[in-house]
Chains A and B, each alone.
Chain A
Amino acid sequence: MKKILILLVLATGLASMFAVALQHVSPLTFTFNENVPLMVEIQQGLDSIAEIKLMYRSVGDTRWNIEIAKQESQGSVYYRVEIPARLLSSETIEYYFEVKLNHGTTENFPAAESGVPYYRINPAALEGEASPGFVLLTDGKSVSADDGYLLVVSFFALQGDIDPASIEVWVGGKNVTAKAIISAPTIMYKDANPQSGIKKAVIHAKLGTKDIHSDIWVTEILGGKKKLSIPFEYRGTVNFASNYYSYSKMDNAPGASDSDAATWTDFYGRYKKVDFQTNLYISSLEKKNLQPVNRYTLGVQIPHLDIYAGDYSPALSKYTLNGKNIRGLYGRLHSNSISLFLTSGQSIRKTTDETDISDEPGIQKSGTFQQEAIGARLQVGKEDGVMMGLNVSRHRDIISSLDSLYYRYDSQGYIYTTPAVDNAVLSFDICFNIPEQRSMFGAEVASSLLNKNTIPGPIDQATLEDYAGQDIPVNPEDFAGLFVINKNMEPFLLGRANMAWLMYLRTYFWNSFLNVQYAETGSAFNALGALYQMQDSKNISVTDQMNISRYFVLSGGFNYSEDNLMNLKSETNGYTTWNLQSILRLPKMPYLKMAYYSSGGENKANSEVEPATPFEPYIRNSQNLSFGMGYNVTQIRIAPTQFDISYRMGADDSNKTDTLEVSIPLSDNENSGLYFSMSNRFAQFPLITQFSLALNKQKQQLLDLNNDNQVIFLGASYGLWENRIKPYANYRTVSLGGDQGKQSYGYLTLGVEANPLKDMTISTDLGFQNHNDSSITNTDYSSFIWRLLLSQRF
């Protein structure tokens, strides 16, 4: 399936079954020594986004680098982020966006599923004009590390034409121009202690206004006997950030935040065959009596063994443990054809509600048990062949972690305010990967056990036999260490309701990437370590992305989900969503984009179950259409301008039919919006300006309400001392009008970003906000924010 990763270049991302839909036009190429600006347009689910991270790396690297995307302005549909120039190399960069939602889960674009390719960008220089004028004088396809690495290149035939100052020397993915000796017509670069492995070298220069580059020269550095002067490779960052908030009237400010500060560090190292990493995040928002915010991870990887201690999010399988944080230990013992994964730790911290309830009779204290998770996976087979996995996970609330005051009280017998649960999941998955056919298909089937309250303890054998009405050959008390069985099991006897299964097919054909998945989840299937479970439902999703050359991308998705899988409810709800996105980008022409989203829902009576209340059918529909264009206007030499413009329109309506068969409209809304964003990078001086405009209209037909809003954003930054200090300012104004009354918000930010030392960034800004509402008195407020960020890379 990795073949697919190599072959496919994505330019759009979408997962229709998720809460968020975004459109991203990948630049496809990057230029050496220049940051790569990326923009994401949120098309659905803007309000549910907490943060967007860009995850990127050179192809072949195992670790991802992270940059946080900045929302262009509050409420804007555009997020911007840059891949730093210092991390660009002659290698292809692959990346994806991790969207963190307000309720804590994350969604990846493109989707984080095996076989789904990432976005990819290649060095523009290597796609541009290769010049035979760069001649490699050093030879030897392989050299010993003891002899050192030497690159000597002549540009004799070009020396009258190129500016030697424009020459860049890239070796091993790094810009080593500063260490190279460039003396026309030769370039010389030496590394006395090279790391063993493959070194690629390429020369880049300007020939007039044209970019030219050499071939890529590959040299294998063989391991030498000599000790390296630096025994290990390392990289990482140390950071500190603080936010100070002040409000004139805190109660009037929605979403008012407390001041906070955080420090974090990431350290990655390699010594011979040992890789290690440390990730620490310490925040002032960490409270002992709330779920942890701080994160600590220590990881070591040696051939065939990975061990992580601290916070880690293991992904054993979709139905057992899949991306939820566990604080403890994680180990993976692996070989080519067999692997064992083990994890154990705390998944939820104990918390207690300390509200003073002494004056409120009848109200009892409550809390949250500390929850521990264990998981294991035995995997047999190869990723590029047949692979099977047997997975097991268990989540258990630790009763002893809470004082009984917080989970029960006595009222003619115990009443439980906080039940303790036991949850176990067993699953089996299998995957067939046929690289020659560029296809993979697989399935997972899982069964779960859930005890909704283990506090009363395990049932004894005699009581169990009475309860079940038959002889039971085992005593549940003997197995309480593994799982507590009592009358709070849901359900008590295993059956189809406890099961979930899915199957999928991912295949690449005719420049098209097809992903089909079908899943059923029983009404009593519970997996506390897994994401996105809709009990008692079945779901089919089909997504396809077709690339016609590199210039036209058409993607679409269909998703249908239906509840009442067990046929025990009096009505069945079905939801259908589908979407279509396309991007047309011809070389040196504006790109055109279009997206359409449709969703619908309705219920049907189940004749096999008598309803408790009369059945009332309903229908809900919504459609959204957006189209737009964008272009990087490099023809304006004085200020190359990148712009994007989109127009959106949408409608939703719903109605129900009552028992008298009268159709009652419930909602009938329309909306439209125009979004424009423009960024200018001036060529003669280091000024960057930004302008964006958003005009929105909403119409609620049933209530005869019309609202509109207008957002204007102006921003500018200016680089001083070769961009070492970059002051910036931006202003945003939001005007609301129509039936909601006249309101306005104003935001002014003044800041400076500085790089006083190598690899150090200091950024600070002052934000002033004010809100005026002419329709309601005494709701105006103003606020002040001071942000500070210090970051040192090494």
Chain B
Amino acid sequence: MKKIMVTLMFLSLVLCIFAVNEVALLSVAKGRVELNREGKLFKFKTGELLKHNDELRTGGESFAAFKYIDGSSTIKVFSNSVVKVQASASGKSLVKRVVVNKGSVFSQIKPKSGTFMVQTPTTVASVKGTAFLTKLTEDKQSLFIVTEGEVMLKILDDTALKSVTSGKTAVVEADGRYVIRLSTPEDLSELEQTEIEASQELENRIMRIPVLDPAGHLKYIEITH
């Protein structure tokens, strides 16, 4: 366990030293999505690139999503959230960290795709191939709702890592107290629930392959996988 701790600390250091320039692509921006870059606020649109330490801010009834440049993870940022995007190169892989200062994010991580962390004021969640929602409430309570795979939590200065598996929710209070219990529908807002369901539906993807038939007409072959 100590090893993991040391690794996490080392990776955090790496984030500061080897930060890469453009680290993610803003793939969806609906409503009011702003970017705080080096203290300056920008209006941000789909297709723009995020840099290390950029802070995304979503307004009411707004939504954003970004993808890290290694293609490993998609992060959905719900309304009224403030999220800092960080990443650094570690050899051929990218060490990614999402710092949630306000609101909620849903993270989908491909397996074996490098280190990924989500940080709240009290907790660092490190994952490898999973999907989970991180929520920071107004009273500084951090919720980690795991829908797939497993998340390891490091809470404040506690060196012991806590495992949260699929179907469970970890609630971490501002003072570091925590509880891990079964997830309930009340843990998610309606919008969050919809997005997670949509993401799970995407897992059951339909691939459409365009082909030309002998007469030159465009047709599709649909493969559900």
State the A residues within 8 Å of B (CB): 1-3, 60, 135-139, 141, 150, 152, 154, 156-157, 160, 183-186, 188, 190, 198, 218, 220, 336, 383-384, 435
CB distance from A772 to the nearest CB of B (A): 59
Q: Which residues of A contact B22 (CB under 8 A)?
A: 183, 185-186
The 6 closest A-B pairs by CB, nearest first: A135-B71, A154-B69, A2-B214, A137-B25, A150-B47, A156-B69
Say yes or no: is B197 at the interface (Cβ < 8 Å to chain A): no
Interface status of B1 (Cβ within 8 A of chain A)? no
Task: Tell whether, in the assembled complex, residue A138 and residue B94 are in contact, meaning their CB atoms are under 8 Å apart.
Answer: no
Determine the chain A residues whose CB is within 8 A of the CB of B69 once the complex forms: 135, 137, 154, 156, 185-186
Enumerate chain A residues within 8 angstroms of B215, measured Cβ to Cβ.
Answer: 336, 383-384
Contacts of B49 in A (CB 8 A): 152, 186, 188
Residues from chain B with a CB closer than 8 A to the CB of A137 are 25, 27, 67, 69, 71
Q: Which residue of the partner chain B has the closest CB to A384?
A: B214
B216 and chain A: residue at smallest CB distance = A60
| Closest chain A CB from B215 CB (angstroms) | 7
Q: Determine whether B163 belongs to the interface, using a CB cutoff of 8 Å to chain A.
A: no
20 of the cross-chain contacts (CB-CB < 8 Å) are: A3-B214, A60-B212, A136-B71, A137-B25, A137-B27, A137-B67, A150-B46, A154-B25, A154-B69, A154-B71, A156-B69, A156-B89, A160-B92, A184-B21, A185-B69, A188-B47, A188-B49, A218-B210, A336-B215, A435-B214
B198 at the interface (CB under 8 A from A): no
A138 in contact with B214 given A152-B47, A186-B49 (CB within 8 Å) = no
Q: Apart from A1-B214, A383-B215, list 20 A-B contacts with CB within 8 A.
A: A2-B214, A60-B212, A137-B69, A138-B25, A138-B27, A138-B47, A150-B47, A152-B25, A152-B47, A154-B25, A154-B71, A156-B70, A156-B94, A157-B93, A185-B69, A186-B22, A198-B218, A383-B214, A384-B214, A384-B215
Tell me the smallest distance from the CB of B75 to a CB of chain A, in Å. Answer: 13
Interface size on B (CB < 8 Å)? 24
Chain A residues with CB under 8 Å of B20's CB are 156, 185
- Chain B: CB-nearest residue to A150: B47
Residues of B within 8 A of A (CB): 20-22, 25, 27, 46-47, 49, 67, 69-71, 89, 92-94, 208-210, 212, 214-216, 218
Known A154-B69, A157-B70, A186-B69; contact A220-B27, beta-carbon cutoff 8 A: no
Name the A residues within 8 Å of B92 (CB-CB). Answer: 157, 160
Contacts of A154 in B (CB 8 A): 25, 69-71
B42 CB to nearest chain A CB (Å): 17
A1 to B212, CA, bound (A): 14
Hey, which chain B residues are within 8 Å of A156, CB to CB?
20, 69-70, 89, 94
**B67 A198 Cβ-Cβ under 8 A:** no
Contact A141 B214 (CB under 8 A): no
Which residues on the A side are within 8 Å of B214 (C-beta)? 1-3, 383-384, 435
B195 to chain A, nearest CB (A): 15
List chain A residues, Cβ under 8 A from B46: 150
CB distance from A480 to the nearest CB of B (A): 43
Query: What is the distance, in angstroms, from A325's C-beta to the closest C-beta of chain B?
Result: 27
Residues of the B chain whose Cβ atoms lie less than 8 Å from the Cβ of A3 = 214
| Bound Cα distance A184, B89 (Å) | 12
User: Contact at A141–B47, with CB atoms within 8 Å?
Assistant: no
Residues of B within 8 A of A135 (CB): 69-71
Chain A: minimal CB distance from B94 (Å) = 6
Chain B's nearest CB lies how many Å from the CB of A146? Answer: 13
Contacts of B47 in A (CB 8 A): 138, 150, 152, 188, 190
Task: Give complex CA distance A183, B25 in Å.
Answer: 13
Chain B residues closer than 8 Å to A152, beta-carbon distance: 25, 47, 49
Q: Which residue of B lies closest to A382 (CB)?
A: B215
Q: How many angstroms between the C-alpha atoms of A218 and B220 in the bound complex? A: 12
Chain B residues with Cβ below 8 Å from A220 are 210
Nearest B-chain residue to A157, judged by Cβ: B92
**How far is A25 from B23 in the complex, measured between Cα atoms in Å?**
48
How far apart sit A137 and B71, CA to CA, in the bound complex (Å)? 6
- Residue in chain A with minimal CB distance to B20: A185
- CB-CB under 8 A from B212, the residues of chain A are 60
> In the complex, A218→B208 CA distance in Å?
10
A218 to B46 Cα, complex, angstroms = 19
Q: Nearest Cβ distance between residue B30 and chain A, in whole angstroms?
A: 13
Question: Distance (Å) between the CB of A255 and the closest chain B CB?
Answer: 45
B71 touches A139 (CB 8 A): no
Q: How far is the CA of A3 from the CA of B25 in the complex (A)?
A: 41
| Residues of chain B within 8 A of A384, CB atoms compared | 214-215
Name B209's closest neighbour in chain A (CB-CB): A218
| Closest A residue by C-beta to B220 | A220
- Give the Cβ gap from B173 to chain A, nearest Cβ, in Å: 37
Chain A residue at minimum C-beta to C-beta distance from B217: A336
CB distance from B203 to the nearest CB of A (A): 14
Nearest Cβ in chain B — how far from A433, in angstroms? 9
Which residue in chain B gives the minimum CB-CB distance to A435? B214
Chain B nearest CB, measured from A322 CB (Å): 23
Contacts of A157 in B (CB 8 A): 70, 92-93
A1 to B71, CA, bound (A): 42
- Give the chain A neighbours of B21 by CB distance below 8 A: 183-184
Nearest-CB residue, chain B, relative to A62? B216
Task: Collect the chain B residues with CB atoms within 8 Å of residue A138's CB.
Answer: 25, 27, 47
Q: Which residues from B are CB-within-8-Å of A184? A: 21
Can you name the residue of chain A whose Cβ is closest to the Cβ of B94? A156
Q: Which partner residue on chain A sits nearest B205 by CB separation?
A: A141
With contact pairs A156-B69, A157-B92, A185-B69 given, residues A141 and B208 touching in the complex (Cβ less than 8 Å): yes
